[in-house]
Amino acid sequence: MSAGALTHRVANVADLAAIVAIYNDTVPTRMATADLEPVTVDARRAWFAEHAGAARPLWVVEREGQVVAWLSFSTFHPRTAYARTLEISVYVASDWRRHGIGAYLLQAAAQAAPTFGVRTLVGLIFGHNAASLALFARVGYERWGLLPRVAILDEIERDLVLVGRRVATP
């Protein structure tokens, strides 16, 4: 799939090290993940395997021969009534942020989600992550909820904002 010069594809296991590196780059920023220490490739193998099917894919964007961003569709909640709602996560390598890659992936996800039975996409974003909140808002996500002070990052209590977007109707 493409939008101009941007394309994405389903991730394969050879991409896992790059996916983990992009993720780990965000850990010390305390902006995009509640992990406080970097994760290992081995620790992410089970997570990667959960995205092997068409219903919960993991996508990557390559530029100049390397993976520079990824997007995952994850189960929002394990109970059956939530099966048509997925949590979406997007991570872009620091050198490639502000190049439209995150917006491209989020738009592509909204277009693709109904093809695998999804009606709603949600994102969980720290309240102090203004850039991510703005990105999701630009592509049609609305603020649906606030969990005040539920995360502690370096002894600072942080809010978690729930954003959502309907992508299909019954």
State residue 3's pLDDT score.
43
| pLDDT band (50, 70, 90) for residue 2 | very low
State residue 170's pLDDT score.
74
Whether the CB-CB separation of 103 and 139 falls below 8 Å is answered with yes
Task: Mention every residue, 6+ apart, whose C-beta is less than 8 A from residue 96.
Answer: 63, 68, 69
pLDDT tens digits, 62-107: 998 899 999 999 999 999 999 999 999 999 999 999 999 999 999 9
Estimate the crossing angle of helix 130-138 against helix 101-112, to 10 degrees.
50
Among 50-59, 126-135, 159-168, name the one with the lowest average pLDDT.
Answer: 50-59
Ordered by where they begin, the domains of the chain are 2-123 (3.40.630.30)
State residue 65's pLDDT score.
87
Q: What is the pTM of this model?
A: 0.93
Report, as an integer, the average pLDDT of 134-144.
98
